[in-house]
Amino acid sequence: MPKNVKNTTLPRLLDLIAPHSCRGCGKLGTTLCECCKKYIVNSNNYNNQPGIKELPPFYTVGNRDGLLAKLIYDYKYNSTRAIGIKLAELINEKLPHKLPPNTYIVPIPTSTKHIRERGFDHILFIAHHLAKINHKLKVKPLLVREKNTVQVGSNKNTRILQADQAFKVKDKTQIDSNATYLLLDDVWTTGASMLAAIKKLRAIGAKHIIIAELSISMLKN
């Protein structure tokens, strides 16, 4: 029996017995109805770039506020897996229709502490669903946690340093220089995790990288 059984059983049970309701309008039977999904996709088409020079192509569902923020919170902290499927659909709507033939989703690795608390790896879960609905994509979890670090630094520089030490490329990873690596994470704040991941992939020869962030929430400093 897995060690974290206590954390995983209850949310799974609730997922099964409680009917889902749309987090936007309350409609029963789904965690996000088509109408509210369209609303999120269409209302977030402005000002969603981190504004960092030489950043690989960047795609996001939108700013982390309103309904999108509610969905991400419920997904991460209440472990509502059905919302993960909707988040995968939302980011898929924002990706370019013409993706290069060999595009691999590389999830930003979640800390083991968070996996234990939530009962699952929330980014990996979305990555698998994204690959399921977008047949041009395959999942390649090339990055792993270096040690059990969690981002706790309050300022940008501390976060960048922590992120750089937080994960590494899996041993014996072979990079295909013709392939495209799509880095996937849930929120861009300082960009520390994403920038560290880009650096690590480039260091082992990845030439084509694109970024998919579920949401963006810029820190002021």
**Interface positions with Zn ion (CB under 5 A):** 22, 24-25, 27, 33, 36
The minimum distance between CB 182 and Zn ion, in angstroms, equals 28
Residue 210's H or E segment, with its range, is: strand 208-216
Which residue number, 31 or 103, has a Cβ lying nearer to Zn ion? 31
Which residue number, 27 or 116, has a Cβ lying nearer to Zn ion? 27
Residue 213's H or E segment, with its range, is: strand 208-216
The minimum distance between CB 113 and Zn ion, in angstroms, equals 33
Which residue number, 71 or 183, has a Cβ lying nearer to Zn ion? 71
Q: Which amino acid is at 49?
A: Q
The minimum distance between CB 33 and Zn ion, in angstroms, equals 3
Q: Which two tokens stand for residue 132?
A: 């399921």
The minimum distance between CB 34 and Zn ion, in angstroms, equals 8
Contact 217, 189 (CB under 8 A): yes
Q: Which two tokens stand for residue 57?
A: 């192509």
* Cβ-defined contacts of 159-162 (< 8 Å, 24+): 159/189, 159/190, 159/192, 160/190, 160/192, 160/195, 160/196, 162/192
Which residue number, 24 or 119, has a Cβ lying nearer to Zn ion? 24
